[in-house]
Amino acid sequence: MIALIDYGAGNLQSVRKALTHLGAQIRLTDSPRGLEEAKGVILPGVGAFGSAMAALEERGLTEAICRYIQSGRPFLGICLGLQLLFEGSEESPGVKGLGILPGKILHIPQKPGLKIPHMGWNSLKLLRGGSGLFKGTSPEPYVYFVHSYYLKADDPSLVTASVEYGTEIHAAVQKGNLFACQFHPEKSGSTGLQILRNFLEAVEKEG
């Protein structure tokens, strides 16, 4: 069973639909107990960093997420779900993130001709080849982004994919059982389905 974290502000239905299409059993959860029972967990996200952290804390999910990741079971953060794994964001000064991974979330720099939010399709540069989430994808996977803030990871070895959009954006990370991507695989067509399929395979291996 895959637990899809519902903290009141996530793009749950499109993620749920994509996973169901792949044959996964999905359960929405807004409680720590729902994570304890899961073989895999996905933290989706749209909205603001500060309000999302407040919603997670209100539901007792911040410590539960940390415990789950420490258990070694597969975890996937999507878009804001990636950003929340880090220490903090310029979007919400003074609000601490989960701090599971080292790095900061910064505003995409304003440049002539550059539209913010970054909204649309871009090709990724894979930094570990076709492994992890990107097994079976093209050498430069084409995926869909919607965001105004981006990850700058402190540890380059965590970064599995990047994209250029006014600056180098760390678009995907992996540390053991922990996966996260800034783009939306559930909105990225067949490439996105392959990425989600790879996560489900990781869940099955741990099962």
Catalytic residues: 79, 184, 186
**Can you tell me the distance from the alpha carbon of 79 to that of 185, in angstroms, rounded to the nearest whole number?**
9
**Can you tell me the distance from the alpha carbon of 146 to that of 80, in angstroms, rounded to the nearest whole number?**
10
Whether a cis peptide bond, with omega within 30° of 0, leads into 117 is yes
